[in-house]
C-alpha cells in the first residue's frame, strides 16, 4: 500500500487516460516484479488522525481483512504510523516503511504558518481541514512523535534524503537553502534528522523529496530514475525478508 503525503493524490485521470500519478511509475515498477500494489486516495490536507482513519476505510474497502505492507511518503509516513495505533490494525500490518517523512516536523511548516496565517484562518472559517500543515510544525510533531512509539511487533524502516545543493530539482532549491541554514542536511522539504527519527535505516538517498516519487526524473513516461529504483528495490528486499522470501529481481 503506497500512501501519499500532503497535497497528494492517487492518480489524475481523463476518461481512460492517466494524466498524473503521485508515485510516478512506482506502482508499475513494483507490479512488474509480482507485487500487488494499491495507491489509496485520502484527504490532501487533513491532520494525521483523520487521514489515518480514512486510510483504514480505504484499505478495508480494497482489501477487507487482509494483512498489508505500508509504504508512506512524506506525511503519508505519519498516517501509517497513526493507522498502526487504531484498534485491530497492529495485527494486520506486516511492515511500515516511511520515505522522506517529517517525524520531527519541518521548520518550513512553521515558516508557512507565519507567512500564510491569513490563508490558514480563511480555511478554518470555511471549514476546510488544514491540520496536516499544523501537525508537521516542529513543536507539535515532536510531541506527537514522543507519544507515538515505534510498534514493537511491526518491522519499521525509514528512507531519508540527504540531497546536495547542486542536485536539488528546481522547485525545491529555495526551500533546500532555507532548511540547510536552519536544520542542516535535508531533501528539500524534510530535514535528515526528522526523516531518520523512526524505524530502522533502510536507505539514505541523494534523491530529493520530489524525486523520491520519481518526479523530475528527466526520463520519459513512467520510467524510474536510478536513485528511485534503488529506493524501491531496497524496500522490496526488506519486505521479502519480512515474508521470509528471497528476492530474485
Measured from the Cβ of residue 142, the count of other Cβ atoms closer than 10 Å reads: 15
Q: Give residue 167's pLDDT.
A: 96
Instruction: Place 184 in a pLDDT band, splitting at 50, 70 and 90.
Output: very high
DSSP string, the chain: -EE--TT--SEEEETTEEEEESSTTHHHHHHTTT---------SS--HHHHHHHHHHHHHHHSTT--EEEEEETTHHHHHHHHTTSTTTTTTEEEEEEES--TT--HHHHHHHHHTHHHHHHHHHTT---HHHHHTSHHHHHHHHHHSPPPTTS-EEEEEE---GGGS-GGGHHHHHHHHHHHSSBSSSSBHHHHTSSSEEEEEES--TTGGGTTT---STTPPPHHHHHHHHHHHHHHHHHHT-----
Q: Answer yes or no: is pLDDT of 192 > 70.
A: yes
CB-based contact 141:103 (threshold 8 Å): yes
Reported confidence tier of residue 13, pLDDT bands at 50, 70, 90:
very low
Above pLDDT 90, what percent of the chain? 75
Distance CA(9)–CA(135), nearest Å, equals 19
Cα separation of 202 and 70, whole Å? 14
Neighbours of 216 (CB within 10 A): 17
Q: Which residue has the higher pLDDT, 171 or 112?
A: 171
The pLDDT value recorded for residue 118 is 74
Assigned C-alpha cell, 214: 520519481
Indicate whether 171 pLDDT > 50.
yes
pLDDT digits (tens, 9 = 90+) for 45-90: 999 999 999 999 999 999 999 999 999 999 999 999 999 999 999 9
Helix axes 48-62, 76-83, angle to 10 degrees: 70
Q: Quick one: pLDDT at residue 87?
A: 93
The 10 Å Cβ neighbour count of residue 226 is: 10
Contact 248, 232 (CB under 8 A): no
What pLDDT, on a 0 to 100 scale, did the predictor assign at position 117?
A: 72
Q: Cell numbers at residue 156, please?
A: 519499521
> pLDDT digit string (tens) for 213-248?
999 887 776 778 899 999 999 999 999 888 776 555
Domains of the chain: 2-243 (3.40.50.1820)
Sheet holding 200-205, edge to edge: 2-3, 68-73, 93-99, 156-161, 200-205
Mean pLDDT computed over 189-200: 97
Query: For residue 147, what are the contacts with CB-CB under 8 A and spacing of at least 6?
Result: none
pLDDT band at residue 114, thresholds of 50, 70 and 90? confident
Give the whole-number percent of the chain exceeding pLDDT 70: 91
Amino acid at each position: 500500500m503506497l500512501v501519499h503525503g500532503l497535497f497528494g493524490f492517487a492518480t489524475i485521470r481523463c476518461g481512460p487516460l492517466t494524466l498524473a500519478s503521485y508515485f510516478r511509475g512506482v506502482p508499475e515498477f513494483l507490479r512488474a516484479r509480482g507485487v500487488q500494489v494499491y495507491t489509496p486516495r485520502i484527504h490532501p490536507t487533513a491532520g494525521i488522525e483523520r487521514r489515518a482513519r480514512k486510510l483504514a476505510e480505504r484499505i478495508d474497502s480494497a482489501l477487507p481483512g487482509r494483512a498489508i505492507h505500508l509504504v508512506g511518503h512524506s506525511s503519508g509516513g505519519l498516517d501509517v504510523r497513526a493507522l498502526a495505533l487504531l484498534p485491530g490494525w497492529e495485527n494486520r500490518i506486516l511492515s511500515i516503511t516511511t520515505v522522506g517523512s517529517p517525524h520531527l516536523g519541518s521548520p518550513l511548516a512553521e515558516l508557512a504558518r507565519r507567512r500564510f496565517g491569513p490563508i490558514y484562518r480563511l480555511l478554518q472559517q470555511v471549514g476546510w481541514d488544514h491540520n496536516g500543515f499544523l501537525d508537521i510544525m516542529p513543536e507539535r510533531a515532536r510531541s506527537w512523535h514522543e507519544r507515538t512509539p515505534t510498534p514493537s511487533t511491526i518491522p519499521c524502516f525509514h528512507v531519508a534524503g540527504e540531497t546536495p545543493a547542486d542536485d536539488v530539482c528546481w522547485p525545491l532549491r529555495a526551500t533546500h537553502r532555507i532548511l540547510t541554514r536552519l536544520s542542516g542536511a535535508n531533501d528539500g522539504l524534510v530535514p535528515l534528522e526528522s526523516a531518520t527519527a523512526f524505524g530502522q535505516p533502510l536507505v539514505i538517498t541523494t534523491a530529493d523529496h520530489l524525486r523520491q516519487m520519481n518526479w523530475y526524473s528527466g526520463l520519459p513516461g513512467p520510467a524510474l530514475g536510478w536513485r528511485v529504483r534503488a529506493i524501491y528495490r531496497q524496500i522490496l528486499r526488506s519486505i521479502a525478508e519480512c515474508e521470509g522470501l528471497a528476492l530474485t529481481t
